[in-house]
Every structure is written in structure tokens, then in C-alpha cells.
Amino acid sequence: MCIETRRQNVLWCAMTGLRTVVSVILIAVTTLEIGSASEIGSARSEQTTRPTIANITYTPTDPERSRGHLLDLYLPAAATKPVPVVIFTGGSGWKGDNDKAGAGEVAAQLNPAGLAVAGVSIRSSAQTTFPGQLYDIKAAIRWLRANAAKYNLDPNRIGYMGGSSGAWAAVLAAVTGDRPELEGKLSAVGVSSAVQAVVAFSPTTDFLSMDGAHYYSATWPIGRLLGCAPNTCPEKARAASPAHYVTGKEPPIMIFHGELDQKVTHNQSELLYEALKEACDEAVFISLPKAGHGPSNAFLTSNGGCDDPFGLDCGLQGDQCCPVHSDLEDRD
């Protein structure tokens, strides 16, 4: 049975409702000092870091010359003990195979906090259809855990952060950890693929419940990922939908979604959160009324004309400046 507590502000939820790695991720990301969408390009170049080790092949490249099986490691300086690692996969609508590219921005914030970052790419929908991308995700997690001692990583503290299709990857990793039928055989077979925390920005979570007819076209990104129009292959669409896997044994998940998102409809995060809530999982859903579809850093820090975009002084500026904060629920 779930016991509902009370509505909390964003930082209180992050600090008390989720495990340490999630709160550190949230705090680090929200400190990105980007003022408006017009400034994103210049701000990004100033707030990034280079990988400690670049282009590690976490499983043999397939197809040849694909970048979808590569990862970059960003390691904190002078760590004296194994450190938590946060996987980052950016978004491309499954059209790109270099979604590790944005990890330098994340590492610039998390490395000083003592966390390692692994920028992980997965194959594009042109290179493989589902479940190929899921097998890539699992292989990368297993590779990191299997090689944790070599790179001074803590194999018991692996988080996953992603945006858009990268958020889909992160949530899918959270809800399918260590399921033998979903592991694939790409790398470090037999090693755990579980993650301990997830932060997802605008995830797609139920391919049969998108809010708009165009999402069901075979030529739309979801159709290309599946290799079919979702409503013509409902079993495959469900198999690729993270919300359908929730059992109540998931790690803590924090979800962000902009209500003005025109690429991934807001109901996708609502559906995931409701499934997690029903299962009594630890979850926080933060809905921002004036936000669109990222990028994640601008999504969090550009206030869209509201002096308090996170609603920490909610009610003082009027409801239009107040994001919707989820109920934080505890396990009985």
C-alpha cells in the first residue's frame, strides 16, 4: 500500500524523496547558467568538458563505421575511492548514432561533485530496429559494471540521465533491468544491467498512447524505430513502451516534461508517473507549464518570463508561474 505524504517543492522532493545520486544529478543540472533559448549555443560551448577517455567500444561495432556502440568516459579528478557513474544519452528521435555528444555539458557539472559520467551512444533506427537499441543500452550498462574497477567506478551506483529518445533509453533501462529475455548478448553477458536511479527529460513511454495521429505513421520516428506503424504492430509497440514494464521494483525515477512540448506529448510522462505511482515506486514528476521540448539545460533554467520557474515561491507570483509538483509517495 502507498502512503501519500504532501505536496513538496522541487528541491525538497529531490533531497528527501530520492537516493543521493538523483538529488546530486538534479542539483548539478539546475545550476547550468543559461538565460534564454537565444543564448544556448554560446552557453553550451562555455560549459562543457572533454572526455577523459573517448570513443571506447563497449561492444563490437555493427554495422561497420557506426558510432552507436561507442561511449566516452568523463572521470572526476583525484578520486580516492570508486565513484558513482551517471550514463548520459541525448535525444535524436532515434535518427542519430552519436547521442553521447552532449555528455560533456553534464560532466562539467557532475565531475566537480565527484560523479563520473559516461556518454553512451546507441544505434539509430536506420542501423537497427527495436529491440536492437535496448540491447545496446543493456550492453553499455553491463560493460561499465564489468569494467568498474579499471576506471575506479562504483558498480553499485549507476544512474542514467537522458533527454527525449535518450530519456526513453534511460527509463527503459530502469524498468527492464536484469530481465533475461530482454538482455541481448552484445557485451559482458551475465553481468547485471540494473541501474540505481534515473532522471528523464521528456520521455516517450507508451507508443500506443501518443496524443496525435501523425505519431502512428510508419515514417514517423516511432515507426522507424519499430520498423512498422505502431497501430499495425501493437505487440512490438508495447514491447518498446517503458510504461508497460512497471512492476513496483523500479529504482527511483525523476521525470521532467514541458507542457508545451510539441515533439513528445506531455501525456507520456503522465502515463509513466501514474504507472509508477500505482506500483508504489519512488518517483517525482515535475511538469513545467512554459517549457517545450528541451534542450534539457535550457528546459530547466530558462524561465520563460517567470521569475520563479520552479515554483519554489509558488502562489506569490500567480499560478501561471507554478509548475505542477507531483505527490511524493513512500512505500509502506
191: which 3 cell numbers?
553481468
Could you tell me if residue 17 is inside a domain? Answer: yes
* Residue 63 confidence (pLDDT) above 60: yes
Could you tell me if residue 41 is inside a domain? Answer: yes
Structural domain containing residue 88: 2-206+241-331
Could you tell me if residue 75 is inside a domain? Answer: yes
Could you tell me if residue 214 is inside a domain? Answer: no
Beta pairing class for 153-163 and 324-325: unpaired
Could you tell me if residue 47 is inside a domain? Answer: yes
Q: What is the pLDDT of residues 212-221, one digit of tens each?
A: 777 778 888 8
Could you tell me if residue 256 is inside a domain? Answer: yes
Q: What is the pLDDT of residue 155?
A: 96
Cβ neighbours for 210, distance < 8 A, ≥ 6 positions apart: 204, 216, 222, 230, 265, 267, 268
CATH number of the domain where residue 249 is located: 3.40.50.1820
Q: What is the pLDDT of residue 136?
A: 96
- Count how many domains the chain has: 1
Q: What is the pLDDT of residues 284-301, one digit of tens each?
A: 998 887 777 766 555 544
Could you tell me if residue 232 is inside a domain? Answer: no
Average pLDDT of the segment spanning 159-173: 94
Could you tell me if residue 131 is inside a domain? Answer: yes
